[in-house]
Structure 1
Amino acid sequence: MIEVRGLTKRYGPQTVVDDLSFTVEAGQVTGFLGPNGAGKSTTMRMIIGLAAPDRGTATIGGRNYRDLAVPLVEVGALLDAGAVHGGRTAYDHLHALAVSNGLPRKRVDAVLARTGMEGVAGKRAGGFSLGMRQRLGIAATLLGEPRVLIFDEPVNGLDPEGIRWVRDLMRSLAAEGRAVLVSSHLMSEMAQTADHLIVIGRGRLIADTAVSELTRTNGEGAVVVRVSDRARFAQQLSAAGATVRDGLESSLVVSGMSAADIGQLAAYHGVALSELTPQRVSLEEAFMELTRDSIEFSGVAA
């Protein structure tokens, strides 16, 4: 597992990571979320020893990264898909990593197969698309069959098939008992991939919770309602304290009132409902609400 305790990092007067603590458990995918500039990449860099914390600790299996005898068999990390010599073939890149970590050649063939890169093993990495470099980086993380895996934005540059492949891979790695930490800005993917979420803003912890718990605690979603006399029932809903707006195909979208309460109100007024559909808060909506005070830059719609 990964344990982060009181982690703090400053660059000059700016505190990038501020007294951050969380745990990444084995057997699950932990999503690492936050707005741009929240400190996610810096935290990941400190976990694998690429940046030194000003205070606090980050350990892997109870040890600092620098104390791991053969790091690649303990933890695999993909922080920058472009960190590969463009003149090397995919095979040679992986083989060099394997040799330097005392790993057998067969591991290169195994990870090329698992990442679907067998057909391009002899091609130079400099000619790869960003998506193919992502796959090569993921293959490198798997070389030592580590129990801990860290991925920073692994779906960047991937097409829909590739994104789905990464999702399935993350789930399969967790099912094998590995601890998987993955950052992403694609909330729809995190909703389908992650078991647990760590959300930070301005370097500080905002939430450490299950996906379902985050969406539940950030309120019920709207309720789609259809009735024959839409205008009249909208007035009755508003009088009862609900917020009502027009929806698609002559529906009403009601917030601030549960589906059960809407049903009771309809029964009281003798209104026949043809639809009463609760809309659960999405992870994206919950995330935006949770981090609205931590966004560094925001634009105004025209």
Structure 2
Amino acid sequence: MGLETDWYSGAGWLRLLAPLEWAYRRLSERRRQRLTQPENQWLAPVPVIIVGNISVGGSGKTPLTLNLIDKLRARGYRPGVVSRGYGTKAPHYPFFVNADTAPEQGGDEPCLIVRRSGVPLVIDPDRPAAVRALLDTADVDIVISDDGLQHYRLGRDLELAVVDAARGLGNARCLPAGPLREPPERLNEVDRVILNGQGRFAFPGASSMELQPGALVELATGKSLDAEQWQGARQVHAVAGIGHPKRFFDTLESLGFKPLPHPLPDHAAITAETLSFDDELPVILTEKDAVKCGDWVKPGVWALKVDARLDEEFDDWLDRQLVRLQQKYGSP
């Protein structure tokens, strides 16, 4: 995690990587120009909403995707989701993820999305192939592409870019000199920027999103309770294999816990050894990490659910966009 720390702390030595950054930016722009040509880009027969970001690592895309699923269903749509399936070893692609799919095959985030929402979901590094499989098999009339902003072979109707307001864009430089997949100006081209949480980063016209903590669920028993109902020790082992673990630790503190932080790389494997400590204190995981726990998990290991809450202006904006899309594709 050393390089990532330097990206966000403004380490001066990263200027030495400027030639590599220049080459990356040139190649990235050429790739985008090539893939967005009409002959190279596939357009789905239903609306496609992209949820992504311009930086590497987590920013809150999965909670936003779950929130969008609920919003679209409330408006009469039948959404489906496609995802790359980062780090997966699926038996084939396209691959349908269901509630029983192992995270090793389906990916931690796709498995979480399906278990929380029951939405039809297909993983495939080839996003157009994933959408075609989804539309051929499931009753879907709108598609959300999770983490698909740079997958330009898939045409899109709306682009939503999520930015962690606390970390912002780091040093605002592209790989490998900084955390950005695309230059900061790319945010000016998306349909909506969404700022996750509170922080110094600001963007004109952006919507705000907060991750609201929900129930604590004991993995071995399925027991569920609110933080106010917690009767155990307030000092807990906090395990987080997400893009910004500190946000999870801060959330636990806001709920009255005294977390002993155990940050892990994003998408890290969770094993019995990961959760073994030399005491009897409770363990609290992120919900994304919890999907990687199997039958081996012992009592005393809990997951904290979180839900995205967006400002009212986002709902108004989304309604206006859906009216526009209905003129193109018809009503749901």
TM-score, normalisation: structure 2: 0.26
**Higher strand content, 1 or 2:** 1
